[in-house]
A and B are shown apart, each in its own frame.
Chain A
Amino acid sequence: MSDKVIVSFKNIEKHFGSVIANKNISFDLEKNQIYALLGENGAGKSTLMNMLSGIYKPDKGEIELHGESRKFNSPKDAINAGIGMIHQHFKLVENLSALENIILGQEKKIFVNKKKIKQKVEELCDKFDLKLDLDKKVSMLSISEKQTIEIIKVLYRGANLLVLDEPTAVLTPQETNNLFKIMKNMKEKGCTLIIITHKLHEIMNVSDKVIIMRKGELITTVETSKTNEKELTDIMVGETLDLKIERPLVQRGDKILEVKKLRVIDEDKVAKLKDISFDIYEGEVLGVAGLAGSGQKELCEAINGIQKVQSGEIIYEHENILGKNPREIIERGISMSFIPEDRLGMGLVPSMSMVDNIILKDYYKQKTFFLNRKEGEERSYKIIKELNVKTPGIKHPVKELSGGNIQKILLGRELEINPHLIVTAYPTRGLDIASSHLIYDLINERKKSGTGILYIGEDLDVLLELADRIIVMCDGEITGMVEANKTDKEELGFLMAGLNMEEIQLKRGAKID
């Protein structure tokens, strides 16, 4: 074995009950490389990485570190061995400073010499060219700065093998580029990195090698320079897929929704929507781009009568629906499927059966005191058939289904009522490619029949292909409204970061010069 290899997986297997999450996986990780771990949801990527970082233990097989078999009983063992994981959801104490978060749990003495430690951390930052104000409170920092803290945290603990779990999901394109620069720099300084991501162009951009998994098995490892996006997808899915998302040309109809100067202030007196205005037409997909937490949730909920609104108007088919309760709005043919981060927070009742979830929005129309579930059962079977939902039965609690199937049930219910306006947020979050495309098709089908669609998305590539127009939100404001076929990711990225059109033109102009 060459001494370039730092970690090797030997016949790793992991079961969860009867489900095989990882099956006979063997591969080596070499020094000074950036690996991309690619695979659809449920392919076993997270399981594999969790075993590397000590969260799970393999049922069979061994993980060797520098040729020595190691057993990690906890994440602490893994970090002591130089393996650090940066999770998708940050694990930071908001009220402490960046520095305090970095040293948290590391200094065993009662009194700590902050000055000395700070010096040490600063040296580390200099070495890897990371920029961060160490004395700032975490709550004051941006998302990408928080991510930087997470990276410094594992570096400070001595990690030289870093696993990043979907690190770009929360970043603007510019921030993503910056992260990739940092990653490449770390590679130069002797670290090995593994990045888990779904975004193919990022893989092409940053990685040296791509490890592809499918259904718990390691399919192959390819060199990034010798492959392309199309090939990667085909290997990942196991069949040839048409990656292009359709944008059917539909004659735009009447205006169905007009939002005028909508202002929302939350319980902490923070303005979440700052006088935003836009409109949606029949047969149109209006995309909404923006970093998470820019006001998308409040916008969705305001349209559906859940969110209290300070001022403004929401005009739906010549009628101001502001102040109407959710049931009145549902009756007017507006449907909403908001997929929150935890998927089950709103829209579905996790511990209830599929039938009970399907009848959620119209059970009250039944005239009897007793509840009739018969009709709901028939509709459930219909949705299972049409959307190919995999479930042990319609009486099975929905929370025990996989994320994709849960989303299909939610969307199935929302589309089934033939809405005139669909508000949907992150409908393909966490779905595999085939399921995502099924959902794009469903949306396009509704579009063709004249429905207006407000599509809140996170993947800019998808938005650019699917939407007709895109509005970009930043910090509760609309920073731009662009035609999807006349813009690009860079422009959207600048808008997402809060720049206005003039500033962007200046920036881009400067680049050309």
Chain B
Amino acid sequence: MIKIVKRKYCSKRQIFIINILAIFLALIFSSVIIALTANNPLNVYISMIDGAFGNVFRSKETIINSIPLLITALGISIAFKMKFWNIGAEGQYIMGAFLGSYFALNFSSLNKLILLPLMLVAGIISGGIWAFIPAYFKAKFKTNETIFTLLMNYVAIKWITFLQYGPWKDPNANGFPKIARFSPNAVLPKISGIHIGLIFALILVVLVYYYINHTKQGYEISVIGESENTAIYAGMKVDKIILRTIFISGAICGLAGIIQASAVNRTLAVSIASGVGYTAIIIAWLSQLNAFIALLVAVLFSAMVQGGAYIQMLYNIPSSAASILQGTILFFVLGSQFFVNYTIKRN
């Protein structure tokens, strides 16, 4: 007889081993699917790693692509720590890019040292406000934040579409519906091929970690996340804390958006986010809301996308193979959480 027994305690080492085993099993499972496309799974995996880290250029691409994922995941972590299910990172990211781009496009003659900070602050504030709206309704009227933040994403996307096809359409684009490119003044500088968004991201990792674990505000977030009743009982002003926390969460996502628009796209387009806000949810969750682990997971996810694109060219298999791999890993890792809480024993 096999029976399921609840674990009393699971050490950090055991949790680590369980997660690594889950990823390993996911790779084995995915190799069956790859084998169905008549390829050797091992070769495909090696090629994926090669595609993501095979040379300096590829490694840099992988890192650049991980930056928006990481920053957005950090923003989401803060909201999730409070059990506020912010599914609206995508929208907050887009709105951050939007207001930042407004300054980039209209004040392009300003000095770089004034324009760039102005753009970043604009991105932070508009991302924060976009998150603040559902938080306000949640605090005042107990609306469901999951649906609210999700629907706000579509509003944001359609707003950019409207700008792109309407008022902000570049007259010099020969009729193409696109927004003008930023002037060089409005582009974030690079350090050895990687834009300085990376530095922002690394600083944020440390800041977010300390904010959640070692500040009074972080403590309040954790208490509310665990038990709102206890927070009220302890005299915390729950509404105020919710608004403050979600503003910060959205602000970080907005920062990610304007960094991407300025440093990588050099313009604003509807496609700016294309799912970053959703992938970041997965990253935040897999990293168990730990900022340092989020750094690793973000690079891993970025590597899978890069590697996926590479094997598409090399083996002529669809890049969705990489998406399947991502999905499988997620499925296995989340499923393995069962073994963190339970263990199987034989009678």
A interface, CB within 8 angstroms of B: 16-17, 57, 304, 306, 325-330, 336, 344-352, 356, 359-361, 363-364, 366, 368-371, 400
**Could you give 5 example pairs across A and B, Cβ below 8 Å?**
A326-B233, A345-B230, A361-B235, A364-B216, A366-B216
For chain B, the bracket of interface size reads 20 to 34
User: Are B233 and A363 closer than 8 Å at their CB atoms?
Assistant: no
Which residue of the partner chain, among A326, A327, A346, A356, contacts B219 with CB atoms under 8 Å?
A: A356
The answer to whether residues A346 and B226 also contact, given A326-B235, A330-B235, A369-B216 and a CB cut-off of 8 A, is no
Which of the listed residues B5, B229, B230, B237 has the most CB atoms from chain A within 10 Å of its own CB? B230
User: Are B216 and A347 closer than 8 Å at their CB atoms?
Assistant: no
User: Are A361 and B216 closer than 8 Å at their CB atoms?
Assistant: no
A137 to B33, CA, bound (A): 56
Q: Report if B143 contacts A (CB, 8 A).
A: no
User: Are A371 and B219 closer than 8 Å at their CB atoms?
Assistant: yes
A330 to B223, CA, bound (A): 18
User: Are A400 and B226 closer than 8 Å at their CB atoms?
Assistant: no
Residues of B close to A57: CB separation below 8 A: 3
User: Are A363 and B216 closer than 8 Å at their CB atoms?
Assistant: yes
The answer to whether residues A306 and B232 also contact, given A352-B222, A360-B223, A400-B9 and a CB cut-off of 8 A, is yes
The answer to whether residues A345 and B227 also contact, given A363-B219, A400-B8 and a CB cut-off of 8 A, is yes
User: Are A360 and B214 closer than 8 Å at their CB atoms?
Assistant: no
Closest B residue to A360 using CB positions? B234
CB distance from A324 to the nearest CB of B (A): 10
Closest A residue to B213 using CB positions? A371
The 6 lowest CB-CB distance pairs between A and B, nearest first, are A327-B235, A326-B235, A349-B226, A346-B229, A360-B234, A17-B8
A346 to B229, CA, bound (A): 6
Residues of A close to B8: CB separation below 8 A: 16-17, 400
User: Are A348 and B219 closer than 8 Å at their CB atoms?
Assistant: no
The answer to whether residues A326 and B232 also contact, given A363-B219, A366-B216, A369-B215 and a CB cut-off of 8 A, is yes
Closest A residue to B232 using CB positions? A306
Residues of A close to B9: CB separation below 8 A: 400
CB distance from B90 to the nearest CB of A (A): 30
The answer to whether residues A371 and B233 also contact, given A349-B223, A360-B223 and a CB cut-off of 8 A, is no
Main secondary structure of the interface of B (DSSP, over half): helix
A16 to B210, CA, bound (A): 37
Q: Report if B218 contacts A (CB, 8 A).
A: yes
Closest A residue to B1 using CB positions? A57
A151 to B212, CA, bound (A): 51
A357 to B8, CA, bound (A): 21
Closest A residue to B227 using CB positions? A349
A451 to B52, CA, bound (A): 69
The answer to whether residues A371 and B216 also contact, given A346-B229, A349-B223 and a CB cut-off of 8 A, is yes
The answer to whether residues A346 and B216 also contact, given A17-B8, A352-B226, A360-B223 and a CB cut-off of 8 A, is no
User: Are A347 and B233 closer than 8 Å at their CB atoms?
Assistant: yes
Residues of A close to B210: CB separation below 8 A: 370
Which residue of the partner chain, among B217, B218, B230, contacts A347 with CB atoms under 8 Å?
A: B230
Closest B residue to A349 using CB positions? B226
A326 to B9, CA, bound (A): 35
A346 to B231, CA, bound (A): 8
Residues of B close to A349: CB separation below 8 A: 222-223, 226-227, 230
A484 to B5, CA, bound (A): 48
Which of the listed residues A325, A336, A351, A371 has the most CB atoms from chain B within 10 Å of its own CB? A371
The answer to whether residues A326 and B234 also contact, given A363-B219, A371-B219 and a CB cut-off of 8 A, is yes
CB distance from B141 to the nearest CB of A (A): 14
Residues of A close to B236: CB separation below 8 A: 327
The answer to whether residues A325 and B235 also contact, given A356-B219, A369-B215 and a CB cut-off of 8 A, is yes
CB distance from A335 to the nearest CB of B (A): 11
Closest A residue to B343 using CB positions? A17
Closest A residue to B8 using CB positions? A17
The answer to whether residues A371 and B229 also contact, given A325-B235, A361-B234 and a CB cut-off of 8 A, is no
Given A326-B233, A345-B227, 5 more pairs with CB closer than 8 A: A326-B235, A328-B235, A352-B226, A360-B234, A364-B216
Closest A residue to B224 using CB positions? A349
A31 to B9, CA, bound (A): 43
Which of the listed residues A326, A330, A345, A366 has the most CB atoms from chain B within 10 Å of its own CB? A326
Q: Mark B1-45, 1 if CB is under 8 A from A, else 0.
A: 001010011000000000000000000000000000000000000
Residues of A close to B227: CB separation below 8 A: 344-346, 349-350
CB distance from B189 to the nearest CB of A (A): 31
Q: Mark B224-258, 1 if CB is under 8 A from A, else 0.
A: 00110110111111000000000000000000000
Residues of B close to A347: CB separation below 8 A: 230, 233
User: Are B230 and A346 closer than 8 Å at their CB atoms?
Assistant: yes
A363 to B210, CA, bound (A): 17
CB within 8 Å of A: which of B187-227?
210, 214-219, 222-223, 226-227
User: Are B218 and A371 closer than 8 Å at their CB atoms?
Assistant: yes
Residues of B close to A359: CB separation below 8 A: 219
A226 to B9, CA, bound (A): 45
Closest B residue to A344 using CB positions? B227
Residues of A close to B237: CB separation below 8 A: 325
User: Are B233 and A304 closer than 8 Å at their CB atoms?
Assistant: yes
A336 to B229, CA, bound (A): 14
A361 to B227, CA, bound (A): 14
A386 to B10, CA, bound (A): 30
CB distance from B314 to the nearest CB of A (A): 47
A345 to B228, CA, bound (A): 9
The answer to whether residues A345 and B216 also contact, given A325-B235, A400-B9 and a CB cut-off of 8 A, is no
Residues of B close to A329: CB separation below 8 A: 235
User: Are B215 and A371 closer than 8 Å at their CB atoms?
Assistant: yes
Residues of B close to A352: CB separation below 8 A: 222-223, 226
CB distance from A401 to the nearest CB of B (A): 12
User: Are A370 and B223 closer than 8 Å at their CB atoms?
Assistant: no
Closest B residue to A366 using CB positions? B216
Which of the listed residues A17, A344, A359, A366 has the most CB atoms from chain B within 10 Å of its own CB? A17
A400 to B8, CA, bound (A): 8
Residues of B close to A370: CB separation below 8 A: 210, 214-216
CB distance from B2 to the nearest CB of A (A): 12
CB within 8 Å of A: which of B115-162?
none
CB distance from B287 to the nearest CB of A (A): 18
Q: Mark B262-282, 1 if CB is under 8 A from A, else 0.
A: 000000000000000000000
A326 to B234, CA, bound (A): 7
A328 to B236, CA, bound (A): 11
Which residue of the partner chain, among B5, B215, B217, B230, contacts A360 with CB atoms under 8 Å?
A: B230
CB distance from A278 to the nearest CB of B (A): 23
A388 to B38, CA, bound (A): 67
A16 to B8, CA, bound (A): 9
Residues of B close to A345: CB separation below 8 A: 227, 229-230
User: Are B226 and A351 closer than 8 Å at their CB atoms?
Assistant: yes
User: Are B233 and A306 closer than 8 Å at their CB atoms?
Assistant: yes
CB distance from A505 to the nearest CB of B (A): 41
Residues of A close to B230: CB separation below 8 A: 345-349, 360
CB distance from A300 to the nearest CB of B (A): 10
Residues of B close to A350: CB separation below 8 A: 226-227
Residues of A close to B226: CB separation below 8 A: 349-352
Which of the listed residues A329, A336, A346 has the most CB atoms from chain B within 10 Å of its own CB? A346
A169 to B226, CA, bound (A): 29
Which of the listed residues B3, B5, B214, B234 has the most CB atoms from chain A within 10 Å of its own CB? B234
Residues of B close to A327: CB separation below 8 A: 235-236
Which of the listed residues B9, B217, B219, B236 has the most CB atoms from chain A within 10 Å of its own CB? B219
